[in-house]
Structure 1
Amino acid sequence: MKKTSSLSRRDFMLQGAAALGAAVAFPSVVPSTVFGAAAPSNRITMGMIGMGLMMGGHLRGMLGRSDVQVLAVCDVDQRRREGAKNQVERAYANQAADGAYKGCEAYLEYEKLCARSDIDAVFVVTPDHWHAMCSLAAIKSGKDVYCQKPMTLTIREGRLMTDACKQYGTIFQVGSQQRSEWAFRKASEIVRNGWIGKVHTIYTSLGSFAPPTTLPAQPIPEGFDYDRWLGPTPWFPYNAERVKGDYGGGWRRFWEYGSRKNGDWGAHHFDIIQWALGMDDSGPVKFIPKGWPGYEHQTHYYADGTRVLRDHPVRGGHMIQFIGTEGEVMVSRGGRLDTRPAELAQAPLLASEIHLYDSNNHEGNWIDCIRTRTQPICPAEIGHRTSTICHLSGIAERLGRPIHWDPVEERILDDPAAERWYDRPRRAPYVL
C-alpha cells in the first residue's frame, strides 16, 4: 500500500471532517510566523524515539529546520524524555512571536507515538536491539523512518524491515552518513570506475571495545524503565555501565545489544566498501575470525576474491584503504582523501563514467525524499546488506570459526549452529 503524502492525507482528513460536519480536534502547532514561508500543512511533522547521546544532533538539526515540526519525543528514561520535551518547547517558544509554546508530548512507549496520525516521520535512535521493533511499528503506521546504524540486531530483522518498507512505500534512511560526505563518495567513484585497476585488498580500522564483563547489580534509578530498556534481550541485573550510551563502551560493548565494533564502526566502513565495490544488493561469501590459522586479522571475502581485513594498519592513518592492481585510495572523515597516483584525488569524472548518488546532507536528503517520494541515499535494502556483514563477522568471532554465506539466498551454509544466529530468541512480551 503506497503511503500518501502528508499534505494529501491532511487534506483528506479535513475534507472528510467538513463533509460529516464533525468537530475535529488537531494538536496544537507552532505559529506560522515561526517557520516563515512554510505553511503548517506543508511541514513534515516528526517524532523522535530514543533521546540519548546520538539523538542530540538529530534533534538540534530538526529544530533548526523551518519545514519540520517536532511533535513528540520518546524515551524509557523520564529525565531524558522530559528534558527533550522542554528543549523542543523552548526552541519553538524562542521563535514564536508571543514567546510561548506548549505542543510537544513526551512518551514512555514508542507505540503511543507511532499511533499518532498527525506524525509523518520518526527518528529511531535507540540502542541496536530496539531498532527493528520501533521501526516496524512506525512503518506499519504509515510513517517514514530515519534509523540509526547498524539497522538491526539480527539478519532476520533486516529482511523483515526491508520487505515492510517495500510493502508500505516507506521512505527509510539508515544513518550511514558517510555516504553523504564527498570524500567517501569520491573514493567510491574512483574504485567503481576502475581508476586503480582491479581492487583485490581493502584495509579498514574499527578499533576495539573492552571485553564484556559480569557487572554487579545496582539500584535502578527512579523514572528509568529498565525492563523496557532491555526489551527483547536477556535479563541481567541493572548496572549503569550496561545501559550507558558511551561511544567508548557502555551498551555497545555487550553482545546482547549489538555486534560490538563490527556493528559500531563496521556499519560505517563496511557500508562504504559495499558502495565502492558495487555490492549494495549483495555481500561477501566468507567470514573468518581473527586468530583462525593463517589469519592475523578478521577477514571477509567476496565471490571474486576481493578481501577485507579489519584493523590491519591503514596507510596514512586513514579509515579505509583500497588496494588495486594500478593504485590505491585512502579515505577518512573530515574530507581526507589520498590516492596513488596522487592526481586521481582531484581528477574529474567524465560524463560517461559512473556517478554515484550525490548527497551532501544525510538528514536533508531524507527530508527531501519524503517530499518527492523518491529513494534516499541509504534505504533499507542497503542498510540491511551492510548490517548483515556486521552480524556475520560477529557470529564468526563468537563461534571462533569461518562462516560461509550465500548472499542471494541469504543463508549460512553447512553450519546448523551458526544458522541459529540468523535471528535471536526474544524475551516476552517483546516479540516481533
Structure 2
Amino acid sequence: MNQTPLRFTRRRFLGTSIATAFAGPQIVRAETLGNNSKTGANSRIGLGFIGVGLISQGHVASFAGMKDVQPLAVCDVRDWKIKEAVGKLKELGNDDIQTTSRFEEVLANPDIDAVCVMTPDHWHAGVAIAAMKAGKDVYVEKPMTLTIEEGKLMVEAEKKYGRIVQVGSQQRSAVHFRIAANLVRNGMIGDIKEVYCRLGTFPKQPKEETIIPVPEGFDYDRWLGPTPFYEYSKNRAEGNYGGGWRCYWDYGSRKFGDWGAHHFDIVQWALGRDDTGPVEFIPAGYDGNKYHHFRYADGITVWRDKQPDHGHMIRFIGTEGEVHVSRGKVETMPKTLVRHRFGEGDEQVYESKDHRQNFIDSIKSRKPTICPATVGKRSGEICLLGGIAERLVQPLKWDPVTEQITNNAEGASMQQRPRRKGYELPDIG
C-alpha cells in the first residue's frame, strides 16, 4: 500500500469523524461487519469513492458488496451527497468511513489502494492522475478526460506509475456487445462499410442563467475546478442524465461525451482499432451534411443518429450482412448468424463479464483491464474531436499517429483548454 504521510483537516459537516485518526488500518474484520462471506481484512482492497452523484449509486452498492473490497472513504463537494453515500455504505455493513470534500485527503490515506472517480468530466483527469501519482489504482468514469491532451497525460501516468486503470465504458463487459464485436472482427458480415450510432440530443446550453445563492454545504468554486468561473445557477451544476451540467461544453462534450463515449468505444473495439482512430470528422450542418460522421483511412464511415437504426443503438453494415446491438439485445442479418459459435482459431475479444469485478481482478493480477487508459484515450479522442467539429461547424482532419488536428489551427488549439489558477494538472515529470 502507498505510505504517503497524512495531512488531514477535520470535516464537520457530517457527524462522522475522519476515519478514527488512522491509528491503525481502516479495514475491519468481516465478522464485525456481519458478513462472513468477506475475505480476510489484510487481503481486501481499500477503496475510496470520489464524486458521489447519480452515476455513483450503482458503483457504491456494487463495489461495497464485493468480498475482496473494503470501502474506506467518500469524497464530494456537496455534504448531502456524502451523507447519502455514507448512509448507503452503513446499510451494507460498512462503518468508519472517511468523509471529506478534498480528494487529496482520500489519496493521502495509506489504507486506500484504489479510487473510483465519478465526478463530472472536467475533474476526471486531475483526480485520476493525482491518484496514480499517489500510488492508487483508478476506476474512472467515461469519457476518460475533458481534452485530448489530458488523455495523453493519462496514458503517460498509467505507464509511469504502473497503475491499473479501468475506464467506465462498461458496454465492453456486456455479453451482447461482445457477441457483436466478435462477429464483426471475424468478418462474419463481410467488409464493414458503414456504422450507425444512436446518441440522441441534449437541450441547448441556456443563453441566460437564473443566478441564485449557492446552496449551503456546496463548495461550488471547487466544483467548477479548472473551468471558467460563472455565478451559480441550479442547471449549471445539476447532475441530470437528461441535461444539467452535461449540456455545457465547459464540463464535457455533450452527447459525444455521453452516449458517444459508449457507442464509439464499441465501434473501435469491434473494428480492432483500439490503438488508432479515424482520420476525418464532418459535422452536421457543414456543406449540407444532415448527420455528423467520421471516417477511417480505409473508408469505413460512422454516422451519428442516421436512420434507420432498426431500433438499436449501433448498426454495423457489411457487404454480406448486418449486426445490430443494444444494451440487452443483439440481432443479425441473416438472423441465424447471431447463433454462430467461434472456435479456437477465431479471433475473439477480451472477455469480461462484470466491468467492476474486472477492475478488482486486475488490481490483484496486475494485468490490464478490458478498458485501460490507452483504450479510453482513443475512444475519448473520437468524442472530443466530434465536439470540436460540431462547435466550429468545420471538418477536421486527424492524424491518429501524431494525434494532432492537421487542417484547422483553431481546432488544434482546442485539443487542450486553459485551466484556472490553483487547478493545474499534477506534474508527472
Return the TM-score normalized by structure 2: 0.92
What is the Cα deviation at residue 91 of structure 1? Answer: 2.2
What is the Cα deviation at residue 193 of structure 1? Answer: 0.5
Query: Aligned partners of 2:169, 2:87: CA distance in 1, in Å?
Result: 29
Instruction: Indicate if the aligned counterparts of 2:280 and 2:294 stay in contact, CA closer than 8 A.
Output: yes
For 1:332, the aligned partner's letter is: S
Query: Aligned partners of 2:254, 2:88: CA distance in 1, in Å?
Result: 31
Instruction: Indicate if the aligned counterparts of 2:61 and 2:88 stay in contact, CA closer than 8 A.
Output: no
Residue in 1 that maps onto 2:194:
201
Match of 2:28 among 24, 27, 30: 30
SS at match of 2:235: helix
Match of 1:361 among 350, 354, 376: 354
Identity %: 50
Match of 1:180 among 170, 173, 182: 173
Report the aligned-residue RMSD: 1.3
Residue in 1 that maps onto 2:389:
396
Instruction: Indicate if the aligned counterparts of 1:48 and 1:73 stay in contact, CA closer than 8 A.
Output: yes
For 1:276, the aligned partner's letter is: A
Higher helix share: 1
Give deviations 1:391-427, integer Å, cap 9, x for gaps.
Answer: 0000000001100000000001032111100100111
Residue in 2 that maps onto 1:304:
298
Match of 2:248 among 245, 249, 254: 254
Query: Aligned partners of 2:313, 2:337: CA distance in 1, in Å?
Result: 18
Residue in 2 that maps onto 1:76:
77
What is the Cα deviation at residue 378 of structure 1? Answer: 0.5
Count of equivalent residues: 403
Instruction: Indicate if the aligned counterparts of 2:75 and 2:106 stay in contact, CA closer than 8 A.
Output: yes
Instruction: Indicate if the aligned counterparts of 1:205 and 1:314 stay in contact, CA closer than 8 A.
Output: no
Residue in 1 that maps onto 2:210:
216
Residue in 2 that maps onto 1:276:
270
Query: Aligned partners of 1:139, 1:366: CA distance in 2, in Å?
Result: 15
Query: Aligned partners of 1:232, 1:107: CA distance in 2, in Å?
Result: 19
What is the Cα deviation at residue 118 of structure 1? Answer: 1.0
For 1:32, the aligned partner's letter is: A
Query: Aligned partners of 1:105, 1:44: CA distance in 2, in Å?
Result: 15
For 2:344, the aligned partner's letter is: A
Give deviations 1:40-76, integer Å, cap 9, x for gaps.
Answer: 1000000000010000100001121121100000000
Match of 2:231 among 237, 254, 272: 237
What is the Cα deviation at residue 258 of structure 1? Answer: 0.5
For 1:367, the aligned partner's letter is: I
For 2:190, the aligned partner's letter is: G
For 2:250, the aligned partner's letter is: E
Query: Aligned partners of 2:144, 2:333: CA distance in 1, in Å?
Result: 34
What is the Cα deviation at residue 79 of structure 1? Answer: 1.1
Q: Which is further off, 416-425 or 31-40?
A: 31-40
Q: Which runs of 5+ in 1 are unaligned?
A: 1-5, 11-23, 94-101
Query: Aligned partners of 2:307, 2:25: CA distance in 1, in Å?
Result: 55
Give deviations 1:120-159, integer Å, cap 9, x for gaps.
Answer: 0000000000000110111001110000000000000010
Query: Aligned partners of 1:315, 1:350: CA distance in 2, in Å?
Result: 30
Match of 1:110 among 103, 111, 114: 103
Return the TM-score normalized by structure 1: 0.91
What is the Cα deviation at residue 29 of structure 1? Answer: 3.0
For 2:345, the aligned partner's letter is: S
Query: Aligned partners of 1:417, 1:44: CA distance in 2, in Å?
Result: 45
Query: Aligned partners of 2:81, 2:121: CA distance in 1, in Å?
Result: 18
What is the Cα deviation at residue 164 of structure 1? Answer: 0.4
SS at match of 1:255: coil
Instruction: Indicate if the aligned counterparts of 2:199 and 2:255 stay in contact, CA closer than 8 A.
Output: yes
What is the Cα deviation at residue 317 of structure 1? Answer: 0.8
Residue in 1 that maps onto 2:17:
none
SS at match of 2:115: strand
For 1:53, the aligned partner's letter is: L
Q: Taking structure 1 as reference, are residues 238 and 265 closer, same or farther at Cα in structure 2, changes over 3 Å only?
A: same
Query: Aligned partners of 1:28, 1:170: CA distance in 2, in Å?
Result: 22
Residue in 1 that maps onto 2:52:
51
Instruction: Indicate if the aligned counterparts of 2:49 and 2:117 stay in contact, CA closer than 8 A.
Output: yes
For 2:23, the aligned partner's letter is: A
Residue in 2 that maps onto 1:97:
none
Q: Which runs of 5+ in 2 are unaligned?
A: 4-21
Instruction: Indicate if the aligned counterparts of 1:314 and 1:320 stay in contact, CA closer than 8 A.
Output: no
